[in-house]
Amino acid sequence: MQGLHLTADLYECRCEAALLTQEDLLSALCRAAVAAAGLTLVAEKYFVFPDYQGQPGGVTGAVLLAESHLAVHTWPERSAVTLDVYVCNFSTDNSTRAQQLLDQLIDSFNPGSRSLKAIQRGEDGEPSTGMNTVPRETLNHSNLLLEWLNEDSAYGYRSERLIESTRSAWQAIEVHETAQWGRLFRLDGSFMTSERDEFHYHESLVHPAALTHPEPRSALVIGGGDGGSTEELFKHPSMARIVMAELDPEVIRVARTHLGAVHRGALGDPRLEIRIGDGWTTVEAMVEEGSERFDLVILDLTDPDTPAFRLYSREFFALTRRILAPGGALVMHLGSPVFKPERVRQLLGELASCYTIVRPMGVYIPLYGAYWGLAVASDQLDPCAIPQDEIALRIAARGVTDLELYNEATHHGLFALPNYYRRLLQG
């Protein structure tokens, strides 16, 4: 009977009000959170309380898991929620999954304050899971924002203030004020970008290919609704046109409202054309019309376990190849070769099946808490073949300034891979 029992009392919840009163919305949230945590739903039952003194009643729900249970009760009149998660660890340690389930539900309800408890249950002498090494109360104290790198690793930053929280048709969107990074942007509980850290990712994503290209004039950015990669592309004076294909218009609205230090006005540049819609559909239409070609295609996407999953495929890479101009290149991020090595290996293999030249990169991105993989793919453009002196000349000739990470030396440094990363390329 040894297991982990987690409870959470959430106050001042700033989620959509209907989430506290409508059975279908609450059930959908719980089912999605259970699946995302890798737990097994067996059955569920919800009861909606009648209105009381003109106020809507709350909802009580019980989700039966193969591993044990999830219980939830909402108090709309107090903007409060109580959560109870218990998992048995008899044959498998499910503690990490339980914590992931609770974390996701807490993120969705977005409380102003919370009270959390963790109890190790079981008879004396039963083996401990080790989950009490760092008490859960400590991990979540003072609005610590956590993100899981994999099932066994997490990291986080403290939020001083929630600036905005909303739920679009596609995802949960948050902007937090933090002491470490200034304004920090999250989608579905995953860190996307921040004011003080964004250059690590955006400069590495854009400039190695853009500086290798003799004169980039057009670019297609798929995703990238925060505007950071577009802002870096506009540093090249030859860039005459950028098309951004962004799935979620709410991301662009939130970025325009709160993330000016990331896009620096690029979202309002007349050279930018924003097309709201699915990246696959956008590229497929371009291929069918046969009228558009781009010097650079930038896949500035959320991770593969999001609505962007179809864009991480051999089929989509092959589509992008058909809209590249001669000498053009595709650039994308791969995830962490430390925490997701098999994903990085798979993506590099699929790129190599479509493009003649595939050059992996690596850079430590503080916000992501990890060494991160990226890649440039092309049939003609080779960023490793251009001399360092030539990169320096091009930076100077183009007047590319305001760079925090990228220069002629770090250009080749990005392609200098550690041995464990190199081994992912074998085969």
State the Cα–Cα distance between residues 148 and 250, nearest whole angstrom: 24
331-345 mean pLDDT:
96
103-111 mean pLDDT:
91
172-183 mean pLDDT:
94
pTM exceeding 0.75: no
Six-digit token string for 368: 């992501």
**pLDDT class of 32 with cuts at 50, 70, 90:** very high
Cβ-contact 136, 99 below 8 angstroms: yes
Measured over all CA atoms, what is the biggest interatomic distance in the chain, rounded to whole angstroms? 76
**pLDDT class of 155 with cuts at 50, 70, 90:** confident
The mean pLDDT of the chain is 91
Residues with Cβ < 8 Å from 387, sequence gap 6 or more?
none
The H or E element containing residue 399 is none
**pLDDT tens, position by position, 283-317:** 999 999 998 999 999 999 998 877 788 999 999 99
Question: What pLDDT is stored for residue 166 in this prediction?
Answer: 87
Decide if pLDDT at 141 tops 70.
no
246-275 mean pLDDT:
97
**pLDDT class of 151 with cuts at 50, 70, 90:** confident
Question: What pLDDT is stored for residue 1 in this prediction?
Answer: 57
238-249 mean pLDDT:
97
**pLDDT class of 91 with cuts at 50, 70, 90:** low
Any long-range contacts for 305-312 (C-beta under 8 Å, 24+ apart)? 305/36, 306/171, 306/187, 306/188, 307/170, 307/171, 307/247, 308/223, 308/247, 308/279, 310/280, 311/222, 311/279, 311/280, 312/347
Question: What pLDDT is stored for residue 152 in this prediction?
Answer: 82
Decide if pLDDT at 123 tops 60.
no
Decide if pLDDT at 13 tops 50.
yes
Residues with Cβ < 8 Å from 85, sequence gap 6 or more?
5, 6, 7, 69, 70, 71, 98, 101, 102
Question: What pLDDT is stored for residue 135 in this prediction?
Answer: 39
Active site residue 197: no
Query: Where is pLDDT greater, at 162 or 220?
Result: 220
The radius of gyration of the chain from alpha carbons, rounded to an integer in Å, stands at 23
Decide if pLDDT at 128 tops 70.
no
Cβ-contact 105, 30 below 8 angstroms: yes
Question: What pLDDT is stored for residue 427 in this prediction?
Answer: 57
Nearest to 184 by CA among 142, 204, 153, 156: 156
Residue limits of CATH 3.60.90.10 in the chain: 3-141
171-195 mean pLDDT:
93
Count CB neighbours of 305 within 10 A. 12
Residue limits of CATH 3.40.50.150 in the chain: 198-423
Domain covering 3-141 assigned CATH 3.60.90.10 in the classification:
yes
- Kindly state which CATH superfamily the domain 198-423 is placed in: Vaccinia Virus protein VP39 (3.40.50.150)
Catalytic residue (choose from 24, 51, 300, 303) = 300
Decide if pLDDT at 61 tops 90.
yes
98-118 mean pLDDT:
88
Q: Which SS3 state, helix, strand or coil, does residue 23 take?
A: helix
Question: What pLDDT is stored for residue 134 in this prediction?
Answer: 37
